[in-house]
Chains A and B, each alone.
Chain A
């Protein structure tokens, strides 16, 4: 196989700080290349150079052996390069067909030829086995279907190189499986694919070759056959990670921290009962739509429940989140951008948000800025936040893992007794994941209790004392002791065992 795309000594520096340094790599035609590395390792910058979004500050690229230096994104698209981004670039208000043709509508008598669009769109969708009407508005589609529309768009433009950036983040397992099938089909058609992901298992399964970036440099590359996950991790973080999960330091006590009895809400939750003990990390597994996030929201008072009761350390919880926070509940939501952080505000303000009232001094609740700054600094250390000046640096300048630590930190500052973590490691790299697991263990060890909600079954098996499984709003079963049986958990989640 010849190289479709070749990098030679490619470099890019921002303000003198290298983001990509001296990368030399061939992407063979027709292969699926896995590109991995921690957040900030330079993956995005490298791909932005391919896409013509940023210009290299050193080195060259070659496309089919000819020099390739795209002036802008349109030039890259014209060469046959398509991006499938994490946040998709679709117009939600337009139909599937309109999205496919948005950059060049076929016309008839100067008007858009709707019939031609619909027919061609139907063909493209059929090629991907996507069973939606070309007329359906994109906003009605699931995340997985939207992604397939994006792929259809790439096919429509005769893309030869398709770059996937974290494509599975918002997909259900079933949608992920379908995506992999589609990628396999694209490969069979001779398309070349660059697949960027934090999910190393997927990379191992899907890719022909792996390239690892660290601190902007290509530190390791090779065929997947000789590239196991341990080697990927080693290359990514530059050291052995003794395990993916920290050693647990606490044992659950017998004291119940959170008791949920008969919680129900028509169409959402059905008779949910559980008890979470002090010192325990209780895992809650479920597929998308199983009601796991809904349960967390009801527990936190964001959504109503028709029946049932919730007790925290013996006192009944009721009312809006404010009252439950006062009782000692904390909730790290799955969507830290929309619900967790004030992205433009400094880290310190984010950390202080939950406990700010505690720093008000009479008269008029004037804030004691010194002790606030002091506590925020201690909290930042406690969660091992990697940041510069926390009083000035905005939250959005942090990597995903560090952003998540800020969210956890703002709750920690309030000294909660029960933590609900909903998908706390989503979009977070391997090293930061480990730190978040460590934090969960510390929370439990210091007398707290953690309800750990996740759709990543491996992490639940790695950090939890017990795992409950939800399906269609119900808790369908539980697993009490490690080692956990992954297939049994999955089967229960799919209700295949029932």
Chain B
């Protein structure tokens, strides 16, 4: 029933114009002429469910339902806080989206964040205290009382940032090389990265933070470009805490990265290669897709995004911190991407989905915080939500299949 017939007439050379198979074609779905209002409603709901914006709608619905119970949720201060939590996570999640789309996974992102943070801190620090860092192998070699080697150097900030991104690029390249040329499973390769590189970063500072960092760097993590004041107009002096950030440096950086990634994935030849490898790696290889190069590029993008996230996180924290991407951080990243709708099995993923997934995840964490739950409870609920997202993905796929049938 769902298959076009093999033939309908004898073969002349080539048919005239018109859509191929107008005769043998059949509608892709139940499109009977008569449909009850109920089935039309069901179809609308189905459309909503399958829409790219589904997770956004879900987030909005979730917020609307909770506002009566958690009035602080709609507080401008809280909203500004939610946004500021969103940007660095988005940058990291964008990188993970590429890897998941080729049916891989990058567990090393957390460790990359930690190591990049230490690298940036050690190079950029504008002072230091031996009391804190005396056991660190960096103390006396790279770091001194006067700070790191780039302190006060012209273009020092740019060099420090470049070094952080380069750290990510090298790790990502090594990951990609191991997967593409040594045929190692991404899970193992990046798990080793997570453990080994994470430990290396901690060893470098003996788990201490490196500070202080220059103001110009800190600005990247929390500097405002546009802020709003919603209080009374006739106040002679506006208290700082009533000014809410609207457009910040991290926001601009994250949106720029997400936009560039969106174009790369959806509009370029490279993006098509990424999807093809995720959909069927063998077929891609035989069709001439440079599979190995693309795999390396994808892992490099993922780790560079992690390093970019590390810049935002380190700047916000005003410190180089080896444990920045520790603990349940990876849960947040992978969870947000998967909730957005990107498939763990590859071939299916969009940056737009990731944006919404990250928004949902950040809002979720925020509401759980506002409910005064402990961090253990928060992680338990997050785990349950990821499970629900996986189930939702199964249901979406099934519905899509039914419609195609």
Which residues of A are interface residues toward B (Cβ below 8 A)?
A: 13-19, 38-40, 42, 45, 215-216, 237, 239, 241-242, 246, 300, 302, 321-322, 325-326, 331, 333, 338-345, 349, 352-354, 356-357, 359-360, 364-367, 369, 377, 380-382, 384-390, 392-394, 397-399, 401-402, 410, 428-432, 434-435, 438, 442
Which residues of B are interface residues toward A (Cβ below 8 A)?
A: 1-11, 13-15, 17, 19-21, 23-30, 32, 263-264, 267-270, 272-273, 275-276, 279-280, 282-290, 347-348, 404-405
The answer to whether A387 touches B6 (Cβ under 8 A) is no
The answer to whether A18 touches B26 (Cβ under 8 A) is no
The answer to whether B284 touches A399 (Cβ under 8 A) is no
Look across to chain B and name the residue whose beta carbon is closest to the beta carbon of A432. Answer: B6
The answer to whether B283 touches A340 (Cβ under 8 A) is yes
Give chain A nearest CB distance to B14 CB in angstroms.
Answer: 6
Find chain B residues with CB under 8 A from A13 CB.
Answer: 1
The answer to whether A353 touches B276 (Cβ under 8 A) is yes
Find chain B residues with CB under 8 A from A435 CB.
Answer: 6-7, 11
Task: Check A15/B275 contact, CB under 8 A, given A333-B286, A342-B347, A410-B287.
Answer: no
Look across to chain A and name the residue whose beta carbon is closest to the beta carbon of B284. Answer: A353
Interface of B is mostly: loop
The answer to whether B11 touches A353 (Cβ under 8 A) is no
Q: Which of A333, A344, A384 contacts B348 (CB 8 A)?
A: A344
Q: How far is the CA of A338 from the CA of B272 in the complex (A)?
A: 19
Find chain A residues with CB under 8 A from B14 CB.
Answer: 381-382, 384
Q: Name 14 interchain pairs, CB-CB below 8 A, sorted by A.
A: A16-B30, A339-B282, A344-B347, A345-B347, A364-B264, A377-B20, A384-B20, A386-B5, A386-B25, A388-B21, A397-B3, A402-B4, A431-B5, A438-B11
Find chain B residues with CB under 8 A from A352 CB.
Answer: 272
Find chain B residues with CB under 8 A from A393 CB.
Answer: 28, 404
Q: How far is the CA of A17 from the CA of B70 in the complex (A)?
A: 51
The answer to whether A14 touches B2 (Cβ under 8 A) is yes
Q: How far is the CA of A357 from the CA of B287 in the complex (A)?
A: 12
The answer to whether B28 touches A389 (Cβ under 8 A) is yes
The answer to whether A14 touches B1 (Cβ under 8 A) is yes
Q: How far is the CA of A16 from the CA of B26 in the complex (A)?
A: 12
Q: How far is the CA of A341 from the CA of B280 in the complex (A)?
A: 7
Task: Check A388/B26 contact, CB under 8 A, given A367-B268, A398-B3.
Answer: yes
Q: How far is the CA of A366 from the CA of B289 in the complex (A)?
A: 16
The answer to whether B269 touches A359 (Cβ under 8 A) is yes
The answer to whether B269 touches A367 (Cβ under 8 A) is yes
Task: Check A365/B25 contact, CB under 8 A, given A39-B3, A39-B6, A438-B11.
Answer: no
Of listed B4, B264, B268, residue having the most chain A CB within 10 A? B4
Q: Give 5 nearest A-B pairs by CB, closest first.
A: A431-B7, A40-B3, A19-B1, A386-B21, A342-B279
The answer to whether B20 touches A339 (Cβ under 8 A) is no
Q: How far is the CA of A360 from the CA of B271 in the complex (A)?
A: 11
Give chain A nearest CB distance to B377 CB in angstroms.
Answer: 38
Q: How far is the CA of A380 from the CA of B279 in the complex (A)?
A: 21
Q: How far is the CA of A478 from the CA of B28 in the complex (A)?
A: 48
Find chain B residues with CB under 8 A from A431 CB.
Answer: 5-7
Find chain A residues with CB under 8 A from B28 CB.
Answer: 388-389, 392-393, 397
